[in-house]
Amino acid sequence: MRADGRGAALRGGHGVLSRLSIDTLVELQDGLAGTTRFEDRAHVRRGQDGALLPAELADVDTVPAEAPRAPLGFAYASADFMPVRQADGSLRFHLLELNGCGTRGISNLPGTHQEALYAGVAEAAGELSGVAPLLLFPMRGGSSTGVRYERALLAQALAHGLAQRHGHARLQWLPRVAELPEGPIVAVAASDALRRAVQLDDGVLRLGARPVTAAFHDLFCRHLEERFDGALPANAVQCINPTFRVSSSKPETYRRFDGFLRAAPREPLAPTGFEAVHERDGLLASVERRLRDGRSAVIKPHAAGAARGIAFFRPPMTLDALVARVDASVQSVTFESPEGQPPRRAFPYAVCDLLDGATVGEPSHPLFGHRFELRVILYRQAGRLRAFPSIAKVAARRFDPAVDDERMLLNTVALSGAENPEAPNEHALPLANAGTLAALGVDVETLRAVCGHAVDFVSFISQGHLDYVQDG
């Protein structure tokens, strides 16, 4: 690799993809600059004990022959499951969301699995069609996320995959150049800047004079489509992941997940149970009906990340308070995009009953009584889908049914970490860990089953989303 003033140039070959090269650091230094220090996830990684797990999860040296094939262009994803304790003490797991390749927390994985994941991202890039692909990669300078180095590693892996196939590729921080050079390129810039820069020309998406071949990040691909309000042909841009239309919309995710469970029983998974609502009055009516019946509710908007727009409603609640909370949720999603671009869409919303989520059950654990969810990382290796049980995401506050506080209901690492900036990852527990599993009341066989079903779900939704045809 080398930096020559026109981006970091790569040649086909082998490298350690879970380490940033000097050329990548130089090229993406503006994107790596941020408002916070980098987070160190080493203690989470060190807590992962592969010896606890069956070989199908722990062993990256051998890819199981029975593992489903990864859809062309699929890089990686994650699935979050909420456990609910049943009357007999068993747990059922409800899918909360399928996160696409914007998922943070790759660095929670053991080093061997990180390397395998980034190699899988390179595989996905190598499957893009075209003789000189131009791939858009969103990465914002000045980000507050402490794991923004993962974004740089992903961009580097994509460029490596293009170089492996085409013999060379370039990683380019877009704000530095007036005109893109020829050849395979991963063009990196803030998502809003990329959406502003591209133009639709007779059904072809262009960045300057060059046609855009592909885009990375499920939500970015969805927002890119909506930027042109249906005028962009469905498969004009190859998207990594190709299943983005499912993962980027909660109602579509839940619809497909419930269909997945109807196709065959998959213990210990349980249907999500949701109502898709397409406008504000219907959203208000749906939540009000649940509250009137004495049921708590949660609403989740279309195509929003980082828990934006998620809102909780617990009876009793006045109508004024309900309306204010719904409107605040919609407003948080439909902020005006730069330079006259249409507002992001909040609808359809998914309206769900608020699950009675399980809590950390070990009284001696520092997070005793906090709700939690399980995150499973889904990646590809040698063209096959694989999974690793990554972390338990634990709410910032202990659950108290008498208190109205979203911090005890949202299990996001970012929100929980804000409670203690000096130890931002104390609410991310390594899942492949005997102490964690004992505290959560989850056994290894249950973990194996949930991971296996998550892999099968990605395989299930990939049917009908194989939009790639290799050429060149």
Q: Quote the pLDDT of residue 88.
A: 93
Q: What is the rounded CA–CA span in Å between residue 443 and residue 94?
A: 17
Q: What is the rounded CA–CA span in Å between residue 271 and residue 81?
A: 11
Q: What is the rounded CA–CA span in Å between residue 378 and residue 75?
A: 9
In DSSP notation, 317-332 reads: --HHHHHHHHHHHHHH
Within a domain: 176: no
Q: Quote the pLDDT of residue 414.
A: 61
Within a domain: 11: no
Within a domain: 175: no
pLDDT values of the chain reduced to their tens digit, one per residue, 472 residues: 333 335 776 665 555 899 999 999 999 999 999 888 899 999 999 999 999 999 999 999 999 999 999 999 999 999 999 999 999 999 999 999 999 998 899 999 999 999 999 999 999 999 999 999 999 999 987 777 889 999 999 999 999 999 999 999 999 999 988 889 999 999 999 998 999 899 999 999 999 999 999 999 999 999 999 889 889 998 899 999 999 999 999 999 999 999 999 999 899 999 988 999 999 999 999 999 999 999 999 999 998 888 889 999 999 999 999 999 999 999 998 865 555 667 788 999 999 999 999 999 999 999 999 999 999 999 999 999 999 999 999 999 999 998 888 899 987 666 655 565 555 557 899 999 999 999 999 999 999 999 999 999 999 999 854 443 343 3
302 in Cβ contact with 219 (< 8 Å): no
Q: Quote the pLDDT of residue 421.
A: 56
Q: With 0-12 CB in 10 A as exposed, 13-18 as middle and 19+ as buried, what is 385?
A: buried
Rounded alpha-carbon distances, angstroms, from residue 407 to 281, 349, 355, 374: 27, 21, 15, 17
Within a domain: 454: yes
Helix (H) or strand (E) holding 206: strand 204-207
Is this structure's pTM higher than 0.85? yes
What's the chain's length in residues?
Answer: 472
Within a domain: 264: yes
Q: In what order do the strands lie in the sheet with 210-211?
A: 198-201, 204-207, 210-211
CA 151 remoteness from chain centre: 12
Query: Which residues have C-beta within 8 Å of that of residue 208, sequence separation ≥ 6?
Result: 179, 180, 197
DSSP state of 69: B
In DSSP notation, 70-122 reads: PPTT--EEEEEEEEEE-TTS-EEEEEEEEE-TT---GGGS-HHHHHHHHHHHH
Within a domain: 230: no
Within a domain: 391: yes
What is the number of structural domains in the chain?
A: 1
Residue range(s) defining the domain that contains residue 384: 51-100+246-467
Pairing of strands 269-270, 311-313: unpaired
Within a domain: 148: no
Structure tokens at 7: 């981006």
